[in-house]
C-alpha cells in the first residue's frame, strides 16, 4: 500500500474508525490512478460494528415518531443543500459524469422524502367489537438491525433505496458499500450525525466477502437488503434465509426495448442512446437489447450510428461535461470487451466497435467506447448474459409476438420497454410481458419512490421489492392484539353461583 494516498475508514458508533490490516485500492476510473485505499474489516471489527448497531437500535426504536421524523427532515435538508459535494465524490470514484451523479442523488432523495411521511405508513389498524366486547388491532414495530449491501454503480442512490425507510421505522442500519467506491456512504454517515441521529443507528462497514458473510451469519442482524449480480443475489438470499433473516436481494438484468414499425424512430434512437450508454451502461435498468420489428432495423441502426458519432467520452469531472465516462475498473473494462469478442466470434456484426478506445490525456483510464452490435445470435452468451457496459445489441424480429416471446423466455425479468403509437399494442404488452418494471415509450422505467422497485425471475430474490409501501412492510413486523376489557357496569361484584348462559 502506498503511503501517499489516504485510507478510507469505517463509521462506527458515530465516528470514523480506522483499522489495521488489509485494504483495497480505490481508483480514479478516468485516469486509472489509485487515489485512496479503503480499510477492509476483519471479524473483530465486524462484531464491533454489529454491537454498536444493536445498541443504537435499542435507543432509536424507543424514540418517538416525532423525533425520528425531525431527524429525517433535517437529513433531507442537509442533503439538498450539499448534494453537489456528494456528486463530486461519486464522479471521482465511480467515473460517471457529474450530471448523472446528481441525477442519482435526486432519485435517492425521493425515498428520503417518502420516509419523512412515515407515520402514516406504519400505522396499525383497529377493529372494534370483532366479537362482543372484544377489540382486535395491529401494531407495526421495527425489526432490529438492517444490513444493506450496496453495489458500485449507484453508491448513493441504492443505499437510499433502503436506509431512509429502515431508519424511519425505528431500525438501525449497517451499510456495506462497494469497496470500489465507498466514500459516498461515509459522507452520508457524517450528514446523519449532523442531522441528530443517535450514534450507532447508521454504521458504515467497509469490507469484502468477509464483511458480507459477517452480516449474513450474525444472529444480531435481522434483515439484509442487497443489489448486485444475480449469482451474488442468490447467494445472499439463500444464506440469509438459512439464518432466519428477512431478505430482499435484487439481481441482474438483460433489459429489452421492443420497437414496433409504427414507432417514432428518432425517439427510439434517442432513447436507445440514453438508456444504452448512460453511465457507461453500468445500470441494472440499462437497455442492452433493441428488438426491432422489421422492416425498421436498418433505418434504426443508421439513426443510432449517427448519434453515437456525436457522443463525447471523457473524464466525468471535466468541464464541459462529456456524455459518458469510464467503467469502474480495468478488470470490468476487460470483461465488457470480452463480451464484444464473444459476439464477434458467434457471428454478430460489430457496427460500432468500442474496444481499444482511449481518451487523449487519459490513456490509462478504464474506457470502452459506445458499441453497437447487429445480428447478435440469441444463443450467444453476449446476448443471454448481462454485460453491464456500453454495449447495445440489435435483434431483428418479424412480429410483436416474436419480440414478446424473446423477452419472456429470458432468465431475467427486471425492466423492459415498448415504443409504439398503438395503445392497444402497448396494453397487450404490459399484460403479457413477464417483467417487473415496464416502460411505454419510456426507456428506463424506474418507479417513483411511492411505488416499489424490483423485477421478476432471476432479477429478484426474497420477500419484497425496494422502497414504496413494500419497503415499509419489509422493515416492520406486525403484531395483532386481541383485547377485552370488562364493563364494570355489567360485570361488577362477586357472584359465587354456577355459571349460566343467559
CB atoms within 10 A of CB 487: 9
Topology of domain 255-440, CATH: Aldehyde Dehydrogenase; Chain A, domain 2 (3.40.309)
Average pLDDT of span 1-21: 89
Angle value at C-alpha 97, between 88 and 180, nearest 5 degrees? 65
Q: Give the percent of the chain with pLDDT over 90.
A: 95
Of 284, 297, 391, 392, which one is the catalytic site residue?
284
Which residue matches cell numbers 372494534?
Answer: 128
Q: pTM of this prediction?
A: 0.95
pLDDT tens readout for residues 81-101: 999 999 999 999 999 999 999
126 is catalytic: no
Q: Is the dihedral of CA 295, 298, 304, 310 positive or negative?
A: negative
Residue 233 · residue 461 · CB < 8 Å: yes
Q: What sign for the dihedral angle of Cα 236, 242, 248, 250?
A: positive
What pLDDT, in 10s, does the model give residues 384-404?
999 999 999 999 999 999 999
- Percent helix, strand and coil across the chain, each to the nearest 5: 40, 25, 40
**138-150 average pLDDT score:** 98
Question: Residue 341: pLDDT band by 50, 70, 90 thresholds?
Answer: very high
Domain ranges of the chain: 7-251+459-482, 255-440
Mean pLDDT score of the chain: 96
CATH, range 7-251+459-482: 3.40.605.10
Amino acid at each position: 500500500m502506498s503511503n501517499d494516498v489516504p485510507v478510507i475508514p469505517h463509521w462506527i458508533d458515530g465516528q470514523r474508525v480506522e483499522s489495521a490490516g488489509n485494504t483495497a485500492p480505490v481508483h480514479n476510473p478516468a485516469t486509472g490512478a489509485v487515489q485512496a485505499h479503503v480499510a477492509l474489516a476483519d471479524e473483530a471489527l465486524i462484531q464491533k460494528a454489529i454491537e454498536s448497531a444493536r445498541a443504537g437500535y435499542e435507543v432509536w426504536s424507543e424514540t418517538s415518531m416525532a423525533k425520528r421524523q425531525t431527524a429525517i427532515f433535517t437529513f433531507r435538508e442537509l442533503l439538498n443543500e450539499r448534494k453537489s459535494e456528494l456528486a463530486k465524490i461519486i464522479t471521482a470514484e465511480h467515473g460517471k459524469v457529474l450530471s448523472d451523479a446528481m441525477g442519482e442523488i435526486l432519485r435517492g432523495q425521493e425515498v428520503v422524502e417518502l420516509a419523512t411521511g412515515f407515520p402514516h405508513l406504519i400505522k396499525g389498524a383497529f377493529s372494534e367489537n370483532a366479537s362482543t366486547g372484544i377489540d382486535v388491532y395491529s401494531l407495526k414495530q421495527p425489526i432490529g438491525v438492517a444490513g444493506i449491501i450496496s453495489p458500485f454503480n449507484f453508491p448513493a442512490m441504492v443505499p437510499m433505496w433502503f436506509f431512509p425507510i429502515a431508519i424511519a421505522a425505528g431500525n438501525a442500519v449497517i451499510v456495506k458499500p462497494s469497496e470500489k467506491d465507498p466514500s459516498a456512504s461515509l459522507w452520508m454517515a457524517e450528514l446523519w450525525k449532523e442531522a441528530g441521529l443517535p450514534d450507532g443507528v447508521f454504521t458504515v462497514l467497509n469490507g469484502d466477502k468477509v464483511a458480507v458473510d459477517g452480516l449474513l451469519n450474525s444472529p444480531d442482524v435481522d434483515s439484509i437488503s442487497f443489489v448486485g449480480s444475480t449469482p451474488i443475489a442468490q447467494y445472499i438470499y439463500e444464506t440469509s434465509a438459512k439464518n432466519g433473516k428477512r431478505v430482499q436481494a435484487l439481481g441482474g438484468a438483460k433489459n429489452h426495448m421492443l420497437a414496433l414499425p409504427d414507432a417514432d424512430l428518432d425517439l427510439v434512437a434517442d432513447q436507445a442512446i440514453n438508456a444504452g450508454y448512460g453511465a457507461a451502461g453500468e445500470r441494472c435498468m440499462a437497455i442492452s437489447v433493441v428488438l426491432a420489428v422489421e422492416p425498421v432495423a436498418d433505418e434504426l441502426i443508421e439513426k443510432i450510428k449517427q448519434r453515437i458519432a456525436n457522443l463525447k467520452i471523457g473524464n466525468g469531472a471535466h468541464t464541459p461535461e462529456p456524455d459518458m465516462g469510464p467503467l469502474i475498473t480495468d478488470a470490468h473494462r476487460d470483461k465488457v470487451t470480452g463480451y464484444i469478442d464473444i459476439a464477434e466470434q458467434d457471428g454478430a456484426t460489430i457496427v460500432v466497435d468500442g474496444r481499444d478506445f482511449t481518451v487523449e490525456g487519459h490513456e490509462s483510464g478504464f474506457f470502452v467506447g459506445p458499441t453497437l452490435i447487429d445480428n447478435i445470435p440469441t444463443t450467444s452468451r453476449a446476448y443471454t448474459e448481462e454485460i453491464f457496459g456500453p454495449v447495445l445489441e440489435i435483434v431483428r424480429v418479424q412480429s410483436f409476438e416474436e419480440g414478446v416471446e424473446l423477452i419472456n423466455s429470458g432468465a431475467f425479468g427486471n425492466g423492459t420497454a415498448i415504443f409504439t403509437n398503438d395503445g392497444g399494442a402497448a396494453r397487450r404488452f404490459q399484460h403479457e410481458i413477464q417483467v417487473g418494471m415496464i416502460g411505454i415509450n419510456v426507456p428506463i422505467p424506474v418507479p417513483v419512490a411511492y411505488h416499489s422497485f424490483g423485477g421478476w425471475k432471476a432479477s429478484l430474490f426474497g420477500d419484497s421489492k425496494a422502497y414504496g409501501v413494500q419497503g415499509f412492510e419489509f422493515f416492520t413486523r406486525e403484531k395483532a392484539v386481541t383485547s377485552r376489557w370488562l364493563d364494570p357496569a355489567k360485570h361488577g361484584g362477586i357472584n359465587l353461583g354456577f355459571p349460566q348462559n343467559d
